[in-house]
Amino acid sequence: MKGKKLKIWTEKDYLDWVKQETPLKEKYFAMYSTVWDAVVTNPNLMTIPFDDHMVHRGDGVFDNSLVVNGKVYLLDEHLDRIIRSATAIGIKIPLSKQEMKDIILETIAITGKRDCMARFWISRGTGGFSVYPDESPKGHFYLIITSSPNYPARYYEEGLSVVTSPFPLRQPFTPQVKSCNYLANAMMEFFAHNVGADTAIAIDSEGYLTEGSNKNVAIVTRDGIFKYPRLEKVLHGTMLKRAIYFANLLKGEGILKDVISTDIPISEAYNSAEMMFFSTTLIVAPIVKYDGITIGDGKPGEIYKRLREMFKKDMTENSEVLTPVDYD
């Protein structure tokens, strides 16, 4: 072949490359895969087979759990959700819930990290490059332990500016599937950043709020009602569920008038006293501007501040939702 320039690596060439230092080791600490049934700690070895349908078709599901001071927050809830997601689309789950839980805890322990993020996936599996699920005899479980998310302090102290996304987010039959196909989510962020906003919110075909690209949304009305979109339309966010629980406690204290799941028109969001996002990585953050309209007084509100304190306490002191990691 004339003009051939591509290198053909030997196994030694590849292994020499693997041994090279990489800055990725500062944020990717360990990976487990059912392909090997082992853990690797060199980021250069953290790979997924290219013929896994999750890679070339987005045919897989995922979830994340925060590790705070050596304890995993809401681990059972996240595992239950990924199992529901995989089951809903017919993926043959390769491990039991307890096996996945044990692998996650042991892999965290291997890293020695007490504050980090456990990110895990269940894929359709390997077997070819078609779209047909039957090509994969069983799914695969992948886990990577990474550094904790690090959002700008202004998100929490000053609040976010968001816009309405022109891209529909979820198909009607998949709102409860935390799918790896995040093209619409990525386009939401692409649009938001191009117009100078921090992020975006999607609306449904009737013009009601649904959710952010990877965040649930809620509002507090001027008469003190905590409202969030109907759950059949959005992903059942673990942090939103926790926020609903906290909001009901605030209702019991007389701080909130009510807690309601309902359709939320954009106009009602514009006129709300507070808006906020909830997600595993962001936890809770206030929205102070929506489509250029100031929300409330344009500053993080009192309900947001109370919820943030409740989350902080929950994530560090509540043994009912914290799973300890055995580092010994």
Nearest to 76 by CA among 107, 113, 118, 37: 118
Instruction: Report residue 138 as tokens.
Output: 């069983």
Distance CA 139, CA 124 (A): 5
Instruction: Report residue 204 as tokens.
Output: 């449904």
Is 313 a catalytic site residue?
no
Selecting among 12, 92, 101, 178, the annotated active-site residue is 178
Would you please indicate which residues are annotated as catalytic (active-site) residues? 178
